[in-house]
Amino acid sequence: MKLLGLFLVLTIFWGQGSSLSCTVCLVQGATFCTGNNVTCPPGRVCASTYTVNMEDGIKKNEFFGRSCVPENQCQGPGSFSTHNTTSKKGFSCCYTDNCTPPAPVLSSVNNTQNGHICPTCTEDGVDWCDAGRTMSCTGDETMCILQYTNMSGTISRDSVLRGCATPTICNIGNQSLITGGLSVQVQISCTGGGGGLHCGFCGHLLLGLISWIIVSIF
């Protein structure tokens, strides 16, 4: 396992500056997809992202996507929640041309309150919301998240969401995707739930999070 880790790290460093080719695809209601192989921007690796969206504890939909991502998105599973929804995300990566990442694993459900409390709201057409409502965070969701999504092009819509999130989700930060005349920008900022630690806008692109937003529209 350690050797494998070292191998991956070496491969990543060796790969700096060169470009990988990766499969890009996105499906709803499945746990695997295949598609075109594209040349990634330098420094990116091949990733799979699996997202399950739940409302009031019931699985509403699932998405699976493959794309080129910055290496810092190759991390453990994460989730974010509002008072009545939860999105769970699993990530996995691989580091050779047109490789197939291992199946992403989602974290298990943990409804134990962790003592953190966050404001929660969702609203369309604005970049900020405050419903005067808070929620108790559970499990590993120890940060308060503010996620603003702006889509322009074939679809035009913006919306904001606030709630609890795992540090994994917060570390991904801002993301953008431009495809087929649609531009999706996602800004994520987090603060420590109940604490004062400010993470700011930190991070990069993630297909899965964006896919959830795209599909929540169709």
CB of 91 to ligand NAG, least distance (A): 19
Alpha helices (H) along the chain: 2-15, 167-172, 207-215
Q: Is the CB of 28 or the CB of 114 nearer to ligand NAG?
A: 114
Q: Is the CB of 55 or the CB of 130 nearer to ligand NAG?
A: 55
The correct pick among 28, 150, 179, 216 for binding ligand NAG (CB under 6 A) is: 150
Taking CB positions, which residue lies at the least distance from ligand NAG?
201
**The Cα angle at residue 209 between residues 86 and 48, in degrees rounded to 5:** 110
Widest CA span in the chain = 50
Q: Does 136 bind ligand NAG (CB under 6 A)?
A: no
Q: Does 154 bind ligand NAG (CB under 6 A)?
A: no
Report the site for ligand NAG in 35-94 (rule: CB under 6 A). Answer: 36-37, 55-56, 84-85
Report the site for ligand NAG in 6-25 (rule: CB under 6 A). Answer: 23
168: helix, strand or coil: helix
Which x/- pattern, by CB under 6 A, does the window 92-131 give for ligand NAG?
A: ------x-----------x-x-x-----------------
CB of 26 to ligand NAG, least distance (A): 15
Please answer whether residues 50 and 66 qualify as being in contact, where contact means their C-beta atoms are separated by less than 8 angstroms: no
Q: Does 173 bind ligand NAG (CB under 6 A)?
A: yes
CB of 198 to ligand NAG, least distance (A): 13
CB of 88 to ligand NAG, least distance (A): 14
The correct pick among 65, 78, 104, 139 for binding ligand NAG (CB under 6 A) is: 139
What span, in angstroms and rounded, lies between the C-alpha atoms of 213 and 218? 9
Q: What is the DSSP letter of 154?
A: S
Please answer whether residues 23 and 52 qualify as being in contact, where contact means their C-beta atoms are separated by less than 8 angstroms: no
Spell out the residues 6+ positions from residue 152 whose beta carbon is closer than 8 angstroms to its own: 182, 183
Spell out the residues 6+ positions from residue 156 whose beta carbon is closer than 8 angstroms to its own: none
Nearest one of 213, 194, 208 to 155, comparing CA atoms: 213
Q: Which residues of this protein are in contact with ligand NAG, per CB under 6 A?
A: 23, 36-37, 55-56, 84-85, 98, 110, 112, 114, 139, 150, 152, 158, 173-174, 187, 201-202
